[in-house]
Amino acid sequence: MSDRRAVLHQLLSLLRGVNIGKRVLVAIDGLDGAGKTVLAQELVEVASQDGLRPIASLSIDGFHHPRSIRYANGQGPDSFYRDSYDYDAFTRSVVTPFRHGLSIAPAVWDVDADTAAPPTEDSLPEDCVLLVDGIFLHRPELRELWDASVWVQVPFAVSVPRGNERFAGQFDSAPESQSNHRYVGGQRLYFAQCSPWDHATWILDNDDLAHPTVRDSPSYQWSCHPTPLD
């Protein structure tokens, strides 16, 4: 079993141990390019092979505001952090029905097409662990939604070029370049205001994709602050 496969099994065991017998919401938080979505997909795939407690996933990216709202206050870091997502729609479409044992709507907005997403519903088992991957998930208004959370830790020097591989030629690989100012700056605002690693249940070090490690968040052990991530 590869190192990554072993860590996936370790994390899967931790997730399945949360509120056994109940529906559970888990945030998979981290920088753009940290590997959040891939991690969630891997966990779902591994879980599907053993027939034990089911794992499902969706992305907060299905709950963007329309472009007109996202850029209404400019294209700087502050608007990226404050105006990107419709958290009320996420609560109505996912959190509330999920908690009441109902079907959820996994997305309401297609950010690429800048139009409403086709209406769909997902029915989930009563003891399902639902992973929600995305950025800014440890904001104060969201923290109480989660039964547990993972902070996927990588530095900007890794996350920016990794994330920008999806947009060939559109962004510089250097974190401090002007093309990355909105996104890196918005994440720095998030760090300064929320210290997300302090509120996570577990931290997954994901610099080396082949050899990640998972550990309890220090704040859940002895209330100390970890070394800044960047």
Q: Domain map of the chain by residue range?
A: 3-220
The pLDDT tens digits for 195-227 are 999 999 999 999 999 999 999 987 654 333 333
Residues 152 and 128: their CA atoms lie apart, in Å, by 22
Closest CA to 153 of 215, 205, 226: 205
Residues 198 and 219: their CA atoms lie apart, in Å, by 5
The confidence score (pLDDT) of residue 171 equals 65
The pLDDT tens digits for 8-46 are 999 999 999 999 999 999 999 999 999 999 999 999 999
Is the torsion defined by CA of 222, 223, 224, 229 positive or negative?
positive
Instruction: Give the HSE-up count for residue 84: Cα atoms under 13 Å, Cβ half-sphere.
Output: 19
CATH 3.30.479.30 fits 3-220, yes or no: no
* Tally of CB atoms within 10 A around 49: 7
* Cβ atoms 189, 83 nearer than 8 A: no
| Size (the chain), residues | 230
In this model, does residue 2 exceed pLDDT 70?
no
DSSP 154: -
Say if pTM beats, i.e. exceeds, 0.85: yes
Q: Residue 23: exposed, middle, or buried by beta-carbon count in 10 A (0-12, 13-18, 19+)?
A: middle
Q: Residue 115: exposed, middle, or buried by beta-carbon count in 10 A (0-12, 13-18, 19+)?
A: exposed
Element holding 34 (H helix, E strand): none
The pLDDT tens digits for 128-182 are 999 999 999 999 999 999 999 999 999 999 988 887 767 666 666 777 788 789 9
